[in-house]
């Protein structure tokens, strides 16, 4: 019989992602990356997806969360043919 209280369950609060980070740690890193990238967009007008990857340390989950937060903050995050983040004016 399965023990529902075991430590190897898929509890999203404690599940380790890349480099052993929890989902909450990934969210925090994405928020920090979003702040940094927002400042860069304000200064330069746009930021490439490549730059987002660099800032997020090539961590796929943090990268996707960062794009999500940038979109929520009102930025145009582009698409596969226009891979860049810019202000919507």
Structure tokens at 47: 């930021």
Residue 56 has pLDDT above 90, yes or no: yes
The H-or-E segment that residue 55 falls in is helix 49-55
Nearest CA to 10 out of 25, 22, 27, 28 is that of 22
pLDDT average, residue stretch 67-85: 96
Ordered domains of the chain (ranges, CATH): 19-87 (1.10.10)
Structure tokens at 55: 């800032």
pLDDT average, residue stretch 26-53: 96
Residue 20: predicted pLDDT: 82
Q: What is the Cα Rg of the chain in Å? A: 16
Residue 13 has pLDDT above 70, yes or no: no
- The whole-model pTM stands at 0.80
Provide the pLDDT confidence category of residue 22 given band limits of 50, 70 and 90. confident
Pairing of strands 75-76, 46-48: unpaired
Residue 36 has pLDDT above 80, yes or no: yes
**Residues whose CB falls within 8 Å of the CB of residue 62, separated by 6 or more in sequence, listed in order:** 26, 29, 30, 33, 56
């Amino acid at each position: 019989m399965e023990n529902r209280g075991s430590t190897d369950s898929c509890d999203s609060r404690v599940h380790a992602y890349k480099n052993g980070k929890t989902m909450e740690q990934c969210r925090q890193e994405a928020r920090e990356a979003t702040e940094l990238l927002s400042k860069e967009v304000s200064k330069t007008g746009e930021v490439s997806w490549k730059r987002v990857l660099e800032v997020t340390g090539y961590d796929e989950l943090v990268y996707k969360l960062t794009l999500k937060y940038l979109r929520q903050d009102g930025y145009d995050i582009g698409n596969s043919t226009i891979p860049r983040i810019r202000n919507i004016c």
